[in-house]
Chain A
Amino acid sequence: MSAEPYKVADINLAAFGRKEIQLAEHEMPGLMATRAEYAASQPLRGARITGSLHMTIQTAVLIETLVALGAQVRWASCNIFSTQDHAAAAVAVGPDGTADNPKGIPVFAWKGETLEEYWWCTEQALTWPDGAAPNMILDDGGDATLFVHKGAEYEAAGAVPSPAEGDSEEWLVILDRLRNSLADNPGKWTKAVAEIKGVTEETTTGVHRLYEMAKSGSLKFPAINVNDSVTKSKFDNKYGCRHSLVDGINRGTDVLIGGKVALVCGYGDVGKGCAESLRGQGARVIITEIDPICALQAAMDGYQVATIEDVIDQVDIFVTTTGNKDIITADHMAKMKHQAIVGNIGHFDNEIDMAGLTATPGIKRVNVKPQVDEWTFPDGHTIIVLSEGRLLNLGNATGHPSFVMSNSFTNQVMAQIEIFTKPEEYPIGVYTLPKHLDEKVARLHLDALGVKLTVLTKEQADYIGVPVEGPYKPDHYRY
């Protein structure tokens, strides 16, 4: 594979994308303040960042922040449905270019990719001109990290393994792509792994993958777990989903949520935000949970907590949020109410058993509109599945709004600066950003909301044993 300049759905959407980017900049004070702070010092000069993160308007502002700080960037989306085509076009064209003469960054993303196209885009983002390699990864879900690790692993083994029984369709695509890569460009991934100073990971699921790799000793470079910055997971995961879940359900189905019964599988940060917004719209929300602490929180917040089997025939709207797999099975879907709506907001699409649904004897699928399918069972009842079980807030709507993404992405930029400028402080492992940076991200977003902070007196600060300027809480504090 050679490094292409860019590939988007329609470069002529760039002007529209640019307008929305400008509006988003106003809503993203953290990123804009970071640009101002580092404009002179350019801490990311020399960085070659491969990004694998939903290619939305908000991500465009992140990308252009990284560029403003001196970085070179190649970008792919981390989901086949989450790209906003006008955002991708605007990023390819850049603030100073035109559709005929793009001057932006290499971006490979469009809404509605096939799995083959998705991994082609990912590999393109990882492939730099003139045989160079990325030296930073900015990941969301860990696909870019996975690709380089597996590439290096198979190069070391001398071959890509043959497909095995039970391998998913997606895994077969990955193996295929790596097989071609090993043939055309041996050593590419071994070199990349050596060059890459580190990865900054955005989401719970991706972070989980990193901890597993660190535990097994297979992690090849340090990682910053951006998800577990408080200003990311307690805000993006919760308030972002609180906004974008019902946005996706509304745009996808236009169903009246008031008066319906909704099942939210999982009561973590994401489940909490989802449950609150469904309840706020007047649904009666039931929760499923495997964790007794989260389950007790749900009960005390006034939700019924039941097993999915207990309520399967009562629920109108199903939402999976667990980060786990096989939450809603084909068997469950066969027993659902007629026209029940089934959607997922977790990062990967294995929470709902789409393969099992597809394999159900006699099942028929009718596409209603993009990312909305009606599936008819032999007994005549139907269910509506959103975004083929992929995350519906990005598939059926535009993901989280700018303000909350400014929180998350400011953390991402700080994490990139940390590893790129101080790699010696980060031996291989998984790290979180220090609390004073977390608090800094929060501070950058207060003025826009008219928040006036009270300031500790020196006496008060001493009384509780913190600096006047913070950090104000011990690491174990949970907010």
Chain B
Amino acid sequence: MKGDNVRDARRRQRSAPGLAELGEGRIRYSERMMPLLAALRSRFSADKPFDGLTVAACLHVTAETAVLVRVLRAGGARVRLAASNPLSTQDDIAAALAARDGVEVFARAGADRDTYYGHIALALGACADGTGDGPDLVLDDGGDLVAALHTMAPQAVLDRVRGGCEGTTTGVLRLRRMAAEGTLAFPMIAASDTPVTRIMDNTHGTAQSVIDGLLRASGVLLAGKTVVVAGFGACGAGIAESARALGARVVITEVDAVRALDAVLRGFRVLPIADAAPLGEVFITATGSAEVITGEHLAVMRDGAILANAGHFDVEIDVRALSAMAVAVDTDVRPHADAYRLADGRRLLLLAEGRVVNLVAADGHPPEVMDLAFGIEALALRWLAASAEFAGGAEKLPPGVHPVPGDIDAEAARLVLNALGARLDTLTEAQQAYLASWRLGS
């Protein structure tokens, strides 16, 4: 039609896309920003490192996760995927994966507790009678899959697992506690423990995506507001800098003296949560701990205070206490924002039901970040699959929590830098000799 632009015309031609089509479009979009996984897909298509192996994955079902899953499929794996959070699943992504790739997807946004664990059981392929095709390798995020293997799955299924990777700090800490108890039955690689993942994922990924989730859910202006960030670990530090860059006055709460000193030297105010509670206009928890914001703190908060959690589990903000204090709850005043009305008229706004706000109210970390995080996991899984070949030999890892092997970290960083066109120097022979010798001094 005259006066039309191209976009209008196309829009009219296309019928409303189905869920899978929508997801497919978004997966392709993210894929283009994930050069490491693209390189691995080529490599794995040739080598088929996972041929004949089943991978059970418990991950947030996002576009980036879908790209990872396709890399594993290209490597010959059979993949069963469950969600690692009841609210974070993006249904269109789940539909796209199920439609195109023959991936068994057990995930839905807004699953209740039973459904959530039921999905994990299905991903484990376990049947009540002990039969069923259990996984050879596991990819976990937060430890619910590995915990289920050790508590719910039949022994035969547990025995078959050769090992796996864990992607988040909370999950790694859980695994270490299992290992300390002697319970962990197979080797797990702490993929989130590498310097590269800590920098890109924990700090920079979180810095952007938590603020993204906070802003999409609440729409609040951060400039001039007092924002309390509980925890100044790798995640809290990123969130605090982001909030400060947007003009907020950031207050940190911490239990660790070393992290607190870092916060102070960067110019942040450090207060006990009890003192910060009446001052904050926005609260973001990033501790990995439990009961950080309790009923006592909620009781003294300012009218209109906003509560968000950036930790893996929803234990940091005591949502039960908040519900008990409220005389009424206005759910979904905005998507992912519920207003709790207290007896004295104050309203507290809880985002994402206290669950991890960047994945529930936004899309999680950007693709570039997950490219590196997932690339390292894919390389670690491949290493595990290869070492499992030598089951009886020296290569087999004992049960327990292990660091990312060899220089997978550096290899991942190099592959990404390559794709970005960044160039590094290499050590000269003289420099190598100098660094290797103790004799050269003053």
- Residues of A whose CB lies within 8 Å of any CB of B are 258-259, 279, 281-285, 299-304
Residues of A within 8 A of B248 (CB): 302
Beyond the given pairs A259-B261, A285-B267, A301-B247, 10 more chain A to chain B contacts, judged by CB atoms under 8 angstroms and listed by A's residue number, are: A258-B265, A281-B267, A282-B267, A283-B267, A284-B267, A284-B268, A301-B223, A302-B223, A302-B248, A302-B249
CA distance A258 to B268 in the complex (A): 10
In Å, the complex CA distance between A258 and B250 comes to: 16
* Docked complex Cα distance between A374 and B206 (Å): 46
Q: 4 tightest CB-CB pairs across the interface, nearest first?
A: A258-B265, A299-B224, A259-B265, A302-B247
Whether A259 pairs with B249 at a CB distance below 8 angstroms is no
Cβ–Cβ contact B223 & A284, under 8 A = no
B223 cross-chain contacts in A, Cβ below 8 A = 300-302
Which residues of the other chain, A, contact B244 by a CB distance below 8 angstroms?
Answer: 302
Report yes or no: B266 in contact with A282, Cβ–Cβ below 8 A: yes
Residue of A nearest to B263 (CB): A259
Indicate if the CB atoms of B224 and A259 lie closer than 8 Å: no
Interface size bucket, B side?
10 to 19
Most B-side CB within 10 Å, residue of A258, A281, A284, A302 = A302
Q: Tell me which residues from 56 to 83 in chain B have a Cβ below 8 Å from any Cβ of chain A.
A: none
Tell which of B224, B249, B267, B269 touches A258, judged by Cβ atoms closer than 8 Å: B267
Write 29 A-B pairs (CB below 8 A) sorted by A numbering: A258-B265, A258-B266, A259-B261, A259-B264, A259-B267, A279-B267, A281-B267, A282-B266, A282-B267, A283-B267, A284-B267, A284-B268, A284-B269, A285-B267, A299-B224, A300-B223, A300-B224, A300-B247, A301-B223, A301-B247, A302-B223, A302-B224, A302-B244, A302-B247, A302-B248, A302-B249, A302-B250, A303-B249, A304-B249
B32: shortest Cβ distance to chain A, in Å?
30
Q: A258 to chain B: which residues have CB within 8 Å? A: 265-267
Nearest CB of chain A from residue B42's CB, rounded to whole Å = 40
A-contact 0/1 string along B249-273, CB 8 Å cutoff: 1100000000001001111110000
The CA of A283 and the CA of B266, in the complex, are separated in Å by 7
Residue of B nearest to A283 (CB): B267
Contacts of B267 on A, CB cut-off 8 Å? 258-259, 279, 281-285
Nearest CB in chain A to that of B244: its residue: A302
> Roughly how many angstroms separate A416 CA and B172 CA in the complex, as a whole number?
71
Q: Please give, as numbers and ranges, the residues of chain A lying within 8 Å of B268 by CB-CB distance.
A: 284
* Cα separation A302 to B223 with both chains bound (whole Å): 6
Chain B nearest CB from A315 CB (Å) reads 13
Chain B 225-251 per-residue mask, 1 if CB under 8 angstroms from chain A, else 0: 000000000000000000010011110
A285 contacts across to B, CB distance below 8 A? 267
Q: Which chain B residue has the least Cβ–Cβ distance from A284?
A: B267
Q: Assuming A300-B223, A300-B224, A302-B224, is B249 touching A282 (CB within 8 A)? A: no
Q: Are B265 and A282 in contact (CB under 8 A)?
A: yes
Write out the residue numbers on chain A whose beta carbons fall within 8 Å of the beta carbon of B269. 284
Closest A-chain residue to B248, C-beta based? A302
The listed residue with most B CB atoms (<10 A of its CB), out of A283, A300, A303, is A300
Q: How far is the CB of B372 from chain A (nearest CB, A)?
A: 29
Report how far A258 CA is from B264 CA in the complex, Å. 8
Which of B224, B266, B267 has the most A CB atoms < 10 Å from its CB?
Answer: B267
Taking CB atoms, residues of chain A closer than 8 Å to B224 are: 299-300, 302
The docked-state distance in angstroms from the alpha carbon of A258 to that of B248 is 19
**Complex: how many Å from CA A301 to CA B266?**
16
**208-226 of chain B: CB within 8 A of chain A:** 223-224
User: Nearest Cβ in chain B — how far from A292, in angstroms?
Assistant: 13
The answer for the CA separation of A185 and B224 in the assembled complex, in Å, is 60
Closest beta carbon of chain A to B328's beta carbon, Å: 33
By a CB distance below 8 angstroms, the chain A residues around B250 are 302
A97 to B248, CA, bound (A): 57
Residues in B whose Cβ lies below 8 Å from that of A283: 267
Interchain CA distance A187-B249 in the complex, whole Å: 60
Nearest residue (CB) in B for A281 is B267
Measured in the bound complex, the distance between the Cα atoms of B262 and A259 in whole Å is 9
Give the distance in Å from the alpha carbon of A284 to the alpha carbon of B268 in the complex: 6
- CA distance in complex: A285, B223 (Å): 16
C-alpha gap A285/B247 in the complex (Å):
13
Q: Which residues of B contact A281 (CB under 8 A)?
A: 267
Nearest chain A residue, comparing its CB with the CB of B223: A300
CA distance A304 to B269 in the complex (A): 11
Query: Residues of A contacting B265 with CB < 8 Å?
Result: 258-259, 282
